[in-house]
A and B are shown apart, each in its own frame.
Chain A
Amino acid sequence: MLTIKNYTNSILTNISFTLPSNQNLTILGSNGVGKTTLAKVLCGITPSQSITINGLYPSKTFGEQRAKLINYIPPKLEVFDSFITVREFLTLSCLDTHISIKTVLETLAITHLEESSCQTLSSGEAQLVQVAGSWLHGAAYTIFDEPTANLDPQKIQLLFRLFKNPNFLQSKVIITHNLDLAYKLGFDVLYLADKKIAYLGSAKRFFEQKNLDTIYQQSVQKIADTLVVKL
């Protein structure tokens, strides 16, 4: 169980919610509203005592015990040493012994990148390598920050199927601006606005046209069970 109680900083105010084990969540909100900030607080990168996961403080717990609690996949892969290869990156990520690097690379169709330097990957390739890493890490909660931002349509489809697969990780938290992805995933939605949680509940209710009109000021329309942005 992930619990955040009354968390406040300069961007967010009085954030409280719980996410039971094996439940998924989509976090939505406009640019700069604090989605990434919230993610970093949840996983302990920004220290806070307002968060507990299975009774432990992620910012105060270390070692494999901490790593197993929560993982965060940023929008951009950051690797300082230019000679660290994809294989080395994935080996460092590998905490879950139930799945092999080979299987993960094959599933994500990136076997050809295995010996490439992480710094030479395209944004989309780097994103898939990070997804592979998260799979091998196998934390109780995994937060994906804009996982589809740099992916082509086929890769988005691949990732969508993975997110829908109950055997792929335990609890997934998806931060995205891709409303159609959020809609089709059907995970519970947490919508941030004006520093607060403006909505927390089912996807079905959030994606009702009336609610979308209110939140997105009639810029999003549901057409044939697909969400499109009016341009």
Chain B
Amino acid sequence: MKKLIQILAIILLLAAPFIGQLSIHPSQLLDSSSMNHRVFFELRLPRMLLAFLVGGILALGGLIFQSVFRNPMSTPFTLGVASGATLFNALAIILGLGIAGSLFAFVGAMMTVIILFGVARSFKRYDTSSLLLVGIALSFFYSASLMVAFSISSLQESYEIMRFTMGDLAISGFGDIFILAPTALLLLIVILHYRYELKLLLTSFEFAHLKGLNVKKINAILLLAVSIAVGVVVSIAGPIGFVGLIIPHILKIIYAQSADKLILPIFFYGGVFLVLCDLIARNLGTNTDVPIGVVTSFLGAPFFIYLLIRK
């Protein structure tokens, strides 16, 4: 089954940029002056790469959050990083600075990270559940603030804010890829570097401590790395839900291996899953692209439930 999925995933990645309302034949790529050439290299390929990198980062983020918080329902957005980014993006739109929306979103995400870890430092005794609760409290605060933003914004601004909250992979050119690719690479390097420590954490925190691990420090490094990477993702593509929640679980069921051995597969299939969702979103024949977050939930939820039943 694993081999078959691998082959299908590679076929999907190779075929995805050619499929759309405008079908492109590989031979048309040789003509650099053609419209199809431009659509392929300036829209489709960057979009596919963006979907792949975003999916990979979110799936990996899910794996780390679920491991560190000992909670299978944790996602990379659990600590409120996405909510912070969304709120700041909304602020940018309301202030008429929509063009700087990504920058605002990134500032919102990073501000959330700073608040979270600042609060965590003041805990008398560190524990991840307290950090989780602070994250949830921040999320509620941001959600309430977003409601205020909606109520003071115009119809057009509300629509723009709404679109951002559902995630959007429409990009032109490789500008965002040059930001996301190093982000993904750095995240992978950090997580692979701490693979042994992650495995100790996957046993139990006490066990990890007794093996000499500085549990607090390693947890903080992993959460910080994921939060920053997710902050970059959300600032570019908005908060795309469900990928971080289900991909780690699906991969664990398919591979039947502990999470530390699935770092690269989870990144890869997280990326493939979002490329597939984006392909569907682009080809549903609606007037505008269906928001990517809608497709990830529609596609992922039934498959996830099916796997759980089979397990």
Q: Is A225 an interface residue (CB 8 A)?
A: no
A residues less than 8 Å from B260 (CB atoms) = 81
**B154 adjacent to chain A (CB < 8 Å):** no
Whether B214 pairs with A62 at a CB distance below 8 angstroms is: yes
Whether the pair B258, A67 counts as a contact (CB closer than 8 A) is: no
- Interface-facing stretch out of B14-22, B107-115, B195-203, B219-227: B195-203
Which residues 199-226 of A have a CB within 8 angstroms of B? none
Asked if A83 and B212 sit within 8 Å, CB to CB, the answer is: no
Known: A83-B252, A83-B256, A92-B200. Contact between A65 and B206, CB under 8 A? Answer: no
Say yes or no for A84: interface residue by CB 8 A criterion: yes
Taken residue by residue from 98 to 124, chain B's Cβ proximity to chain A (1 for < 8 Å, 0 otherwise) reads as: 000000000000000000000000000
Rounded to whole angstroms, the CA-CA distance of A162 and B260 in the bound complex is 34
In this assembly, does A44 line the interface, its C-beta being within 8 Å of a C-beta of chain B? Answer: yes
Contacts of B70 in A (CB 8 A): 80
The verdict on B207 contacting chain A, using a C-beta distance below 8 Å, is: yes
Q: A83 to chain B: which residues have CB within 8 Å?
A: 252, 256-259
Complex: how many Å from CA A88 to CA B207?
13
Distance in angstroms between the alpha carbons of A12 and B215 in the assembled complex? 26
Q: Is the CB of A81 within 8 A of B206?
A: no
Q: Which residues of A contact B200 (CB under 8 A)?
A: 92
**Interface range on chain A: under 10, 10 to 19, 20 to 34, or 35 or more?**
20 to 34
Q: Contact between A93 and B202 (Cβ–Cβ < 8 Å)?
A: no
Q: How many A-B residue pairs have CB under 8 A?
A: 63
- Determine whether the beta carbon of A80 is less than 8 Å from that of B209: no
A5 to B148, CA, bound (A): 56
Interface SS of B by simple majority? helix
Question: Which residues on the A side are within 8 Å of B210 (C-beta)?
Answer: 43, 45, 67, 70-72, 137
Given the interface contacts A81-B258, A83-B257, A92-B199, does A67 sit within 8 Å of B206 by beta carbon?
A: no
Give Cα A118–Cα B211 distance, bound, in whole angstroms: 18
Say whether A80 contacts B202, CB under 8 Å: yes
A75: interface (CB < 8 Å): no
Q: Min CB distance, B8 to chain A, in Å?
A: 24
- Contact across chains for A44 and B209 when beta carbons are under 8 A apart: yes
Of residues 134 through 169 on chain A, the ones whose CB sits less than 8 Å from some CB of chain B are 137
CA distance A72 to B205 in the complex (A): 12
Mark each residue of chain A from 59 to 85: 1 if its CB lies under 8 Å from any CB of chain B, else 0: 000111111001110100011111110
Flag if A72 contacts B206 (CB, 8 Å). yes
* Binary flags per residue of B286-297, CB closer than 8 Å to A gives 1, else 0: 000000000000
A183 within 8 A of B: no
- Which residues from A are CB-within-8-Å of B203? 78-81, 84, 89, 92, 118
Name the A residues within 8 Å of B204 (CB-CB): 78-80
CB-defined contacts of A67 to chain B, threshold 8 Å = 210-212
Q: Bound complex: CA of A83 vs CA of B67, how far in Å?
A: 13
Instruction: Please name all residues of chain A whose beta carbon is closer than 8 Å to the beta carbon of B212 when the two chains form the complex.
Output: 62-67
Of B67, B202, B206, B211, the residue contacting A74 (CB under 8 A) is B206
Within 8 A of A (CB), among B231-254: 252
A63 to B96, CA, bound (A): 52
Give min CB distance, A98 to chain B, whole Å: 18
Q: A84–B211 Cα gap in the complex (Å)?
A: 16
B132 at the A/B interface (Cβ < 8 Å)?
no
Give the residue name and chain of the A residue nearest to B198 (CB). A81
Q: Using known A-B contacts A83-B257, A84-B258, A88-B258, determine if residue A93 contacts B211 with beta carbons closer than 8 Å.
A: yes
Report the separation of the CA atoms of residues A66 and B215 in the bound assembly, to the nearest whole angstrom: 13
The list of the 9 closest CB pairs from A to B, nearest first, reads A67-B212, A81-B202, A78-B204, A83-B258, A66-B212, A81-B258, A63-B212, A62-B214, A84-B258
A to B CB contacts below 8 Å, 22 in the list: A44-B209, A45-B210, A47-B125, A62-B214, A65-B212, A67-B212, A72-B206, A78-B206, A78-B207, A80-B70, A80-B203, A81-B67, A81-B202, A81-B203, A81-B259, A81-B260, A83-B252, A84-B203, A92-B200, A92-B203, A92-B211, A93-B211
Beyond the given A65-B212, A84-B199, A84-B203, could you list 10 further A-B residue pairs with CB under 8 A, ordered by the A residue number? A43-B210, A45-B206, A47-B125, A62-B213, A67-B211, A78-B204, A79-B202, A80-B201, A81-B203, A81-B258
* Residue positions of B touching A, CB distance < 8 A: 67, 70, 125, 199-204, 206-207, 209-214, 252, 256-260
* Interface residue ranges, A against B (CB under 8 Å): 43-45, 47, 62-67, 70-72, 74, 78-84, 88-89, 92-93, 95, 118, 137
